[in-house]
Amino acid sequence: MTDLTINAELTEKILTGFIHTELNRVGFQRALLGVSGGIDSAVSLYLSAKALGPENVLAIRMPYKTSPDHTLEDAQLMIDDLGVQSMTVEITPMVDPLIDRFEDMTKIRAGNIMARMRMIVLFDQSVAFNGLVMGSSNKTEILLGYSTIYGDSAAALQPIGDLYKTQVRQLARHLGVPELVVSKAPSADLWEGQTDEGELGFSYADVDQLLHLLVDQRYRPEACVEEGFDRDFVARVVRRVRQNHFKRVMPPIAKLSERTIGYDFLYLRDWGT
Amino acid sequence: MKINIALAQFNTKLGVVRANLETHLSMIDQARQAGADLILFPELSLTGYALLDLAVETAIRPHQDDPVFNELLGASQEIDLMFGFVHEDRRHRFYIASAYLSGGKILHIHNKLYLPTYGMFDEGRFFAPGNSVRAFDTRFGRVGMLICEDFWHASLPYLLWMDGADILLFSSASPGRGLTDAPRLSSSEWVEHTNRAYAGLFTNFVAHANRVGYEDGLNFWGGSTIFDPNGHLVVCAPDFEPALTVAEIDLNQLHRTRARLPLLRDERATVVQRELERILGET
């Protein structure tokens, strides 16, 4: 077992500095984000409120008709706790016409439509609120590709994208996220009874250990098996990380000219700021 | 002889030399008012670190005809200064460089020899490597400059020591990494241990200026330090916060430490030379 414990105080210092600096340098003082009642968006919310002041943060609740009541209540609990600005935009009347349009609609497709509708609401509100959209993706889900491309993965900044799920939980406790949010089973709430670990087929505790060896410690897959991980589990995770890489990169541009964006036109996003 | 050294750490504007020059001039002024004799800026302090294609767009010639250099030469009339920039040589090669200015003159330019091109680093793609390391004389004695990855190779501080440098001036734009349960990042701990080790092993002063701020997702951790010839910490600037940290060093400490611990006297550079020739001759 690798110890994935982080120094939460140092993490908070770096991440609040990141949010504050990276927003300010491009002329923004405010941030907004979707708050689902889950732990990832909770941590992004608490970090944003600490970095920018609660008055500069807008938390948006975007329930669908099947969203459990407790998700809305948990989100409200955190909104009240921090004193951030808030808004509720139910997405049911926006997504149902598209979902109902196709008889062969699947749960996955419907889930993607909901995630992308929430993205549309957030990016629309970013103009109205004059703020940037704060992401809530963690390292585990980014590596596994457990997200909807152009949906929940769309954001201006990803403050917790280098923290594994188990580390996000540790940071959440340090930031004062309510315990009932920290300890409930992670779920995208895209359909009733959905849990991340049920859908993925393994636990975050296990996969975080494995990903840490594969990615951070550069173990070869075979060496992970020697360390005691199940061979099929290792193979499944390695495949998932590779197959979902397309979600982590910009779409490739077909090179024709002498200088092509992405290959030999290279600048950080912070260029000139 | 006692001198005051100022360590400047701030967040640069990426690729905007004029804005960063203004910050330099303002911090130089503050340091001068605080009684500093020498101010040290971090690596690439005039440009920012992760330049990529901005490397060639921000490059300057270290000459009084260059308007940026000219202003800094003017500022060096009252205080010695070291800063970082992209150096374009006469053949249009681009280097990560440090300049040491004093009394309106350029005393030395150091081009970074070791360009990390692995992991998160890609310097070798955009820059030419420097090819020499030299100590040089200042009004405070003989000193040597190195830039970040340069001092991860023990040979360069050693060569400067052999070349007569009693004060090592290091600069970095070190991206913070290695989060564990410890109160500081692994990168911060490692650099501080390294600096302390050089100070103790060479019975030298080691001053290190490291930047703060962010570039995209990279954080820079600051924590600039000075160690004395006993390996004791003289001063440590805050982690992550912009700061101008001024501390006094007593150059007579060199006399006292080396009287007690004659590592320099006993160093056998000819053995190093002979054995290196043998080793390199065999390969």
Residue by residue, pLDDT tens for chain A (273 residues) are 889 999 999 999 999 999 999 999 999 999 999 999 999 999 999 999 999 999 999 999 999 999 999 999 999 999 999 999 999 999 999 999 999 999 999 999 999 999 999 999 999 999 999 999 999 999 999 999 999 999 999 999 999 999 999 999 999 999 999 999 999 989 887 777 788 999 899 999 999 999 999 999 999 999 999 999 999 999 999 999 999 999 999 999 999 999 999 999 999 999 999
Residues whose CB falls within 8 Å of the CB of residue B234, separated by 6 or more in sequence, listed in order: B225, B226, B227, B228, B247, B249
**Contact with chain A for residue B177, Cβ under 8 A:** no
- Residues of chain A with a CB closer than 8 angstroms to some CB in chain B: 3, 5-7, 9-11, 13-14, 17-18, 21-22, 158, 161-162, 264-273
> Per-residue DSSP letters for A36-60?
-SSHHHHHHHHHHHHHH-GGGEEEE
Whether residue A208 is contained in a domain is answered as no
Whether residue A234 is contained in a domain is answered as no
pLDDT score of A243: 97
* CB burial readout A146-171, b (16+ within 10 A) else e: bbbeebbbbbbbbbbbbbbbbbbbbb
| C-alpha gyration radius of chain B | 18
pLDDT score of B283: 66
Query: Which CATH number goes with the domain that contains A136?
Result: 3.40.50.620
**Domain spanning B2-282: CATH 3.30.1490.100:** no
Nearest-CA distance A272 → chain B (Å): 5
**Cβ A7–B13 below 8 Å, yes or no?**
no
List of chain A residues whose C-beta atoms are within 8 Å of the C-beta of residue B179? 6-7, 10-11, 14, 162
**Mode of pairing for the β-strands spanning B243-250 and A30-34:** unpaired
* CA B25, B30, B32, B38 torsion-angle sign: negative
What is the helix, strand, coil percentage profile of chain A, to 5? 55, 10, 40
> Per-residue DSSP letters for B76-145?
TTTSEEEEEEEEE-TT--EEEEEEEEETTEEEEEEE-S----STT--HHHH-PPP-----EEEBTEEEEE
**Mode of pairing for the β-strands spanning B141-147 and B136-138:** antiparallel
In angstroms, rounded to a whole number, what is the distance separating the alpha carbons of residues B114 and B282?
Answer: 24
- pLDDT per residue over A144-160, tens digit each? 999 999 999 999 999 99
Angle at B169 between CA B164 and CA B170, to 5 degrees: 130
Nearest-CA distance A90 → chain B (Å): 33
Whether residue A139 is contained in a domain is answered as yes
In angstroms, rounded to a whole number, what is the distance separating the alpha carbons of residues B160 and B153?
Answer: 12
Within chain B, which residues score under 50 in pLDDT? none
Whether residue A253 is contained in a domain is answered as no
Q: Which domain holds residue A144?
A: 14-194
Whether residue A264 is contained in a domain is answered as no
Count of structural domains, chain A: 1
In contact, A75 and A84? CB cutoff 8 Å: no
pLDDT score of A188: 81
Whether residue A9 is contained in a domain is answered as no
Residues whose CB falls within 8 Å of the CB of residue A166, separated by 6 or more in sequence, listed in order: A4, A204, A205, A208
pLDDT score of B79: 98
Nearest-CA distance B242 → chain A (Å): 12
φ, ψ dihedrals at A124, nearest 5° = -70, -45
φ, ψ dihedrals at B252, nearest 5° = -65, -15
* Amino acid sitting at position A19: I
In contact, B230 and B253? CB cutoff 8 Å: yes
List of chain B residues whose C-beta atoms are within 8 Å of the C-beta of residue A9? 183
pLDDT score of A189: 79
**What residue ranges do the domains of chain B occupy?**
2-282
pLDDT score of A1: 83
